């Protein structure tokens, strides 16, 4: 496991993976694994080029990721809090240089999209992104598609279906992540 550097990675993971947050302690997990600090940068992991960069999140260090096999690429940004660096032109947050770099030209941007534009003003300080921000970032970075992720826990599958249907014809193409989702890349 690679943990964004915030001190001793093993200690950070041990706090997260322990009661009452998790039913077993770190040392009780089976398998062969290690916990290491992850610094921003590029690394080759089993034939994939993986780039990790800091993305805005006022309360803690958060990374976004870009993964490429040299032919296709995805970017993944969860817990992205773009208003922590300013409201941006539309009030949904600034398009941070690292977020743009990670998402540039990807086949799929998987992004935190917890709130609708109607919900966002009352929750702009909760540490997450608006759906419109995720789509705007994808558009500005030239992503081919955006997969909305990190949905509001009160949102139902039917709600998500309605949101995605309302975005038909949007560029880039918009999907909602769901358990069991399969992403096929060129």
Q: What's the pTM?
A: 0.85
Q: Each residue of 30-47: pLDDT tens digit?
A: 888 777 778 899 999 999
Cα 67 from Cα 100, distance rounded (Å): 14
CA distance 41 to 14: 25
**100 and 114, same domain (yes or no):** yes
Chain-centre distance for alpha carbon 94 = 16
* Domain shared by 84 and 137, yes or no: yes
Q: Which residues contact 174 (CB under 8 A, 6 or more apart)?
A: 135, 145, 146, 147, 148, 164, 167
pLDDT band at 62 (very low <50, low <70, confident <90, very high): confident
- Residues 71 and 153 placed together within one structural domain of the fold: yes
Together in a domain, 69 and 137: yes
Whether residues 32 and 118 share a domain: the answer is no
CA distance 99 to 138: 10
Range of the domain at 2: 1-38
Q: Do 45 and 22 share a structural domain?
A: no
| Tens-place pLDDT, residues 129-182 | 999 999 999 999 999 999 999 999 999 999 999 999 999 888 999 999 999 999
111 and 67: one domain? yes
The answer on 146 and 91 residing in a single domain is: yes
């Amino acid at each position: 496991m690679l943990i964004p550097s915030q001190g001793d990675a093993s200690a950070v993971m041990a706090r997260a993976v322990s009661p009452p947050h998790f039913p077993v302690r770190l040392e009780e997990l089976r398998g062969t694994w290690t916990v290491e600090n992850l610094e921003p940068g590029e690394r080759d992991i089993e034939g994939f080029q993986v780039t990790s960069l800091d993305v805005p999140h006022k309360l803690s260090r958060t990374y976004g990721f870009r993964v490429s096999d040299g032919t296709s690429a995805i970017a993944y940004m969860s817990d992205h809090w773009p208003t922590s660096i300013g409201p941006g032109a539309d009030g949904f947050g600034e398009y941070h240089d690292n977020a743009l770099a990670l998402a540039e030209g990807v086949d799929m941007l998987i992004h935190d999209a917890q709130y609708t534009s109607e919900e966002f003003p009352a929750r702009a300080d909760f540490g997450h992104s608006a759906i419109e921000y995720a789509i705007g970032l994808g558009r500005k970075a030239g992503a081919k598609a955006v997969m909305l992720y990190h949905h509001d826990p009160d949102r139902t599958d039917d709600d998500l279906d309605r949101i995605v249907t309302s975005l038909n014809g949007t560029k880039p193409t918009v999907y909602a992540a769901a358990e069991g989702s399969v992403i096929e890349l060129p």
